[in-house]
Structure 1
Amino acid sequence: MIRVSTQEGNVHCNNSVVSSNLADKPKPALTREPAGEIFEGDTVTLSCRVEGGSDGWRYLWYKDSQSSTPVYQTDSSSGTGAGYTIRADAVSHSGEYWCRAKRGSKPFYSQYSNAVRIQVSQLFSTPTLTVKPGASVWEGEDVSLQCGAQIYKQGTQLQYRYSKDNEDLRGAGSQYSIPAAGLRDTGRYQCEVEAAGTGVKKRSDSVALTVKERPQAVLTQEPAWTQLFISESVTLRCQVQGQYTDWRITWYKDGWKVPVTQNYYSRIDGDKYTISSATRDHSGEYTCKGERGGNPSYSKASNALTLTVSVGAPKPALSQEPAGEIFEGDTVTLSCRVPRGSDGWRYLWYKNSQFGTPVYQTDSSSGTGAGYTIRAAAVSHSGEYWCRAERGSKPFYSQYSSAVNVQVSVSELFSRVTLSASPRATVKEGEALNLTCEATMNKTLRSQLHYTILRDGEPVINSTGPALYSIASTEKSHAGSYKCAVESQGVRKSSQELHIEVQMSWQSADAIGYRVSFTLYHFILFTLLLLHYCRIQGFLHIAGGRSRITWDQDQEQSAEGIELSSRVQHTGVELA
């Protein structure tokens, strides 16, 4: 049994291998057009032909290796029948090429053709992007991007394009300029070069550009008044932020073309510009900036600061709140305002005379800034008021407030307080007594009246209702000096003193008279009896007729004592 296995170039028979003769297979001829030097962008065509006819042949194309997968078509090459066209827009098309033919359903292959080498030369080099003066610059510096590429084929025209962060920029030529670079120009840049008419493009590597913010000059004013008046003083100070030092400050007024100079009224001292006595010529817009020897060589300019110097002292406006009639206990506020701003002003307050000593604060009034407040107004607060403003270490004074001065008229809240007694100020013990406190009101109250009735300086009743002090049955202890005090809205007034007298009743007088008479009667009787006893004892020691006489006298005196005792007792009965 013979088994035949057909493979490309081999025949197997009775387990033996017989090599086919390659000479029996046709060998295609491979040619190229054009035959000279090839540059990027050129078109090269390879042609493959099987000698002895081309009926039914299909062609395969190989690059760099016969054993590789056949190449058919790419973006820049294509095989169509016996031709393979290369649009050589890149050096990568360089290499060795072969062709081979096949036909039949179980393909019969020709031999490989001889190799044809294609060498693609560059039209121009890959561009290089250079940033000048450097990849890191200061705000405001001019920057140029230079795109360089070397041309290898004479007559090649290059076209340039630039991009920032992959966004196209307007610009052409081998240099792209950024005048006065700003922070927004920070980013990554690239350039692209194209050979005109060839479609060959090459891009540079990206280059980073960093634009650093310049130190900022900051202009301040001391004092920070928005409006100045002639002869006032002010200092402008310019300071450059950041870590850099050794700044020289340049001052400008009304634009960058007018540097500030010093004169009799002003001077420059380092970072300070001081106006010691302002004139109208000092009005204007001021700016400053710093300069130095190193990098950064100058700072950003400061924001503009405007000085306005006005002629004449301002005149404050004075107002009163509330504007109507003022009563005792009310709160009154006077407000003083300097027109066109109140920066730095301190306010002075005057009463009844512009030229007197300013009034600032009492127990019931105080001036705080532009306001002067009278709390719990009293009659003594009536009068005319003025205000005046001052500011600065060497005070600059405003005019006095308007000639139409505020008149504070204070009416009494209650004009009279009285204390009355009913039925009368002199009563007898046991009688009822009513004390009534009253106040004559001049206006409707916003708060209640508070009444206090005092006896000998000590309160006996406090009330916010009817001020009535009632005693159902008077005693001697109720006698004394009474006074009534009324208070409301911080105003307190007192009545005149009322003296209350409490007398004894008739029954009490009779009882006292009887007791006094009874006591006196017994005292006299005891005394007479004692005298009588003593005289009797003395008679026993006296002899003769003298004893008789003494006895007679004692009898007479005894009779007189009895008669006197009788009269005293009779008198006591009458008092009772």
Structure 2
Amino acid sequence: MGHSLLCMMGFFLLSTVICGNAEAPPKPTLTLQPSWPQIYSGEIYRGETVTVRCEIRGGEGAQWTYEWSPAKLNTPPTSREYTISSATKSDSGGYKCRGKRSSSWTKWSDITKLTVLSPPKPTVTLQPSKTQLNSGVIHRGETVTVTCEIQGGEGAQWTYEWRPAKLNTPPTSSEYRISRVTESDGGEYSCRATRSSSWTEWSNSTPLRVIIPTKPTVTLQPSWTQIYRGETVTVRCEIQGGEGAQWTYEWRQGQKNIPEKSNEYRTTVTESDRRGYSCRGRRDYLLTEWSDIIRLTVLNEPRPVLTVSPSWLSPGASVTLNCEVEHPSAGWSFYWYKAVPDLKTFNYKSSSYELLPDGNRTANNSYIIHGQTHTAGYVCRAGRGDPEYLTDHSQPKFVWSADVHSAASLTVSPDRVQHFTSDSVSLTCEGNFTEWRVRKFSEDGRLSDCWRMTGSTCDIKASKSDTGVYWCESGSGEFSSAVNITVQNDGNVPILVSPVHPVTEGASVNLSCSLRTQKILSNVFFYHNDKLIQNDPRGELKISAVSKSDEGFYKCQYSGRESAQSWMSVKVTVSGADSSSSPVWLIVGLICGVSLIIILLLLLYRCRQSKCKSLFFSCCIREFIYYIHFNYSHIYMYSDLMTQNISGTIYT
């Protein structure tokens, strides 16, 4: 009894130890081989080979029998791995496994999903991806890398094949670097890749065109043919077909390099710019040729030339100013000024210039002044470019008026246009001003001032160089009328004695001819506008009542020698009472004439009806006197009323 109980207790303890230490079978793990990243995510390309493996951790060495799901993999049923060769889309799905040893099964592994995809289509790219390479264009001498890219295939062990075949060195390379390309490297590039036994499609062809680097061209902005010293210009290096590329530029001025790397070079023009500019471009290992040299014609600072038309003015006429720049070219704007005298200096440059109305930056090089009446001076200048380059002011030009009704006037003594050398001539300025200067515009176009001023009078010891136009300028900017002075340096040649100022219409004037030593009294020929008008034995031409038709150039001739010509201007003055009432008196005369005829006819009729027929004549005379007295008193009253409204003098 005791031994039996002891045996039972021992058996119980042994079974407890054995059963209590027994472990449950481990859970299998399903893996895919090879271990590409795509396989880790359960993706494989169609045609590739994959091995599905069931691994039981800690079960190594044991005799396991495996079961697979899906069931088609259970061939053979005991295999721990299954190889799928040339996978197709039907091989896609969820895979799991479990193992059995003796009669005990493990749990099912977690499901591993396998997706069979179509192989991706590679893409050929060109590096660097500049604008030209995007369109498949590269310059000879540059470096390019051709790359075969497989979207989603990163990290896999691909082997590549290239077209053209010369690129298959090495055959597995995903990119090919061509250093210093030549024309033979041009063509269509494509690639494909394989991983295990499966090939991708061929990529689309990518063209590569190798061109000879274009010779750069230097352009000038603004594109003026002549550049003035001090102007600002920009030279620009342009490479045809190289737009968008990352070029570095080199510049030369003549044969001297300048430190500028951009495609533009801005400079203020100096004499050194005459040597011209050239450029070339650099990109990677590519270096273009040097461009042709663009040469700049550098001119000294221009001074515009102002002309006025007419120079001698009819009061109230229009004056046209024209401003011309030396070596004319495009792009100029013009400024127009009135020159105001400044008597603090004898240099006209320091005179003040007043901008004329609408005279700022005109596109036209002409300017019209309407209604000019007095002598005046004008100046112009020109500008162009950005920043604007301004020329110096032109020399002043004058419009001269002989009108003596200005606030300032000029008298000449002796009062004649022509003089002999060494004659003493006085020019006196008159007007309500305290400061004066006398100005001269000589035959050679020079402007000067009288240096021998005594108060308001300029004294000249006449010489040939004193020939010119003279006028007065006041300290307040007023101009006098202008006069011509002509100096004859040959004492054997006569001079014409003619008035300096215009002659009033209707006045008388005497023109004579004189030698240095004497007045010529006979055998003188006078010419008006080169037409002989009188051979006066007295040596004098007298015009008793000057008219506008007498205006013009006059000269005299004596002993075969002619004087210089002088212009005689006629000033038309119209009396208001005389000129304006002439039409009135014409009307009154007509009325009176008609009235007399009517009265006479009525008188004759009345006399015929009169009783004093025997005394017909005396009767008619008495009636006639009566009618005249009565009717003409009314006529004179009418004419007086008409003429009372007309008065004053009009000057033109």
Q: What TM-score do you get using the length of structure 1 for normalisation?
A: 0.32
Q: What TM-score do you get using the length of structure 2 for normalisation?
A: 0.29
Larger radius of gyration: 1
